[in-house]
Amino acid sequence: MRALFSYGIALVLLILTGAWLATGTLVMGGSGPGNGERPIVSIIEGEEHGPIATQLAEAGVLAQHEASTEVDPHLTIAQRNEAEHGANTALQSVRTTTYVAQPFAIEVPLRGRTQAKATVSAVAETAGIVETVHVTKGQKVAVGDPLCTLDQGTRAAAVAQADAGLAQANAALAQAQADFDTNAELRSKGVATANSARGVEVALAAAQASVTSAKANLDNAQAELDRTLINAKVNGVVQAPLADAGAMLAQGQPCATIVQLDPMLFIGQVPEVRIGLAKLGLSASITTITGQTAEGKVSFIATTADAATRSFPVEIELPNADGTIRDGITATAVVNMGSAPAHLLPQSTLTLDADGVLGVRAVVDGAAKFMPIEIASDTRDGVWVLGLPVAVDVITVGQEYVIDGQAVDATNVTAS
């Protein structure tokens, strides 16, 4: 009897459990509420709305589930609020500060080195043995200072011979001129025939040509003699190679090398993003690694960029009258490329848009608006930026919670 009672209770519990399970749901491959859920009774009956499921639904014991819309995880908080609540959502509160553009000097720093204006070789214009070297390495020279003297050899004798030839030609010319004048006088008196003039005219022309030739020979001989003295053609400092006394110099071989240090050049490169601002004549301040400073001006801008760095070589010419700035010293230059209206903003106001563009979010006509910027300079006081309107209300608090075009409740703090 006790066994029948136990079996009866177990049967009742089994029936109740089955009825309870039949009113529930089974989730198969779902990704959230309402996705992949089916009532268990529909699986037992083999159809979605069978008689048992209908009876349970009418009795109000069948579980009901409504599909919910999945939230896109890529949306921002502002976009989710806008999508879920629409215009009924309260406006996002933000704080703004009004920033006004100020004149900002655009200065581009450059790294480079100094370079001599020119390196000139004082070469021999004629061959000869070096008789005297008048300078030493490191000596400063001016234009016209003697550098080397070559052995004159027979050049002085050639000058004397050419001078004598000129004197002889002048004597012959004087005689020919006298003959011409005498013949002219005799013809005027009727003593000499008219055809006699032809001979004295030819003799006079030949004598004049001889004088011209003799002068040319003398000039050539004198120039050849003058070439034995090699003078400086530029101001500068004597450097190697320097000829030695007694050495044989061929024509075109250097006697000395002169490095022209005044003016000096700074050689650097302007990045391609700044090349549009570069102009000839711009002022620049140069500081060498040794602490020397000088003021110069841009004298050359390349028209083609360096293939490796995509920057443009430039030259800045600076005075170096005392020659203290040496050739090949590492230096930096700051080129003043003019001024432009810029805004000094806190770094905390900078943000990125969806495409990774750097900018700020401002309030325009009650709505948030992203404005791209270009950083001109980063200082301790803030960031100088270009590309904004003259006066702009920049969002300083809450810029990450609004999107472009979203209406906002903006509170403007003390303008700056």
* pLDDT tens digit sequence for 39-48: 665 666 656 6
**Sequence-ordered list of residues with C-beta below 8 angstroms from that of 382, at least 6 positions apart, any chain:** 344, 345, 346, 347
How confident is the model over 279-285, as a mean pLDDT?
90
The two domains 89-101+346-412 and 152-227 share their CATH topology (first three levels equal): no
CA atoms within 13 A of residue 219's CA, in its CB half-sphere: 6
Residue 53 CA, distance from chain mean position: 79
Q: Are strands 330-345 and 382-386 parallel, antiparallel or unpaired?
A: antiparallel
Q: Is the pLDDT of residue 112 over 90?
A: yes
C-alpha to C-alpha distance for 121 and 136, rounded to whole angstroms: 15
% of the chain exceeding 90 in pLDDT? 35
Write out pLDDT tens, residues 119-140. Answer: 888 999 889 999 999 999 989 9
Residue 356: exposed, middle, or buried by beta-carbon count in 10 A (0-12, 13-18, 19+)? Answer: exposed
Number of alpha helices (DSSP H) and beta strands (DSSP E) in the chain:
6, 22
* pLDDT of 391: 92
* pLDDT of 258: 92
Beta-bridge mates of residue 393: 98
Q: Is the pLDDT of residue 401 over 70?
A: yes
What CATH number was assigned to the domain covering residues 152-227? 1.10.287
Residue 148 CA, distance from chain mean position: 45
What CATH number was assigned to the domain covering residues 89-101+346-412? 2.40.420.20
End-to-end CA distance of the chain: 96
How confident is the model over 357-366, as a mean pLDDT?
92
* pLDDT of 43: 62
CA atoms within 13 A of residue 360's CA, in its CB half-sphere: 31
Contact between residue 248 and residue 121 where contact means Cβ atoms under 8 Å apart: no
Confidence grade of residue 14 (pLDDT, cut at 50, 70, 90): low
Lowest mean per-residue pLDDT among 141-150, 159-168, 374-383: 374-383
* pLDDT of 241: 85
Task: For the chain, give the mean pLDDT.
Answer: 83
Structure tokens at 324: 């203290």
The fold for domain 257-339 equals: Elongation Factor Tu (Ef-tu); domain 3 (2.40.30)
Contact between residue 129 and residue 151 where contact means Cβ atoms under 8 Å apart: yes
> H or E element: which one contains 244?
none
* pLDDT of 267: 94
* pLDDT of 32: 47
Name residue, tokens 């003593």.
191
Domain boundary assignment for the chain:
2-59, 89-101+346-412, 152-227, 257-339
How confident is the model over 229-250, as a mean pLDDT?
89
Structure tokens at 166: 């000129």
Q: Is the pLDDT of residue 209 over 50?
A: yes
* pLDDT of 79: 62
CA atoms within 13 A of residue 85's CA, in its CB half-sphere: 11
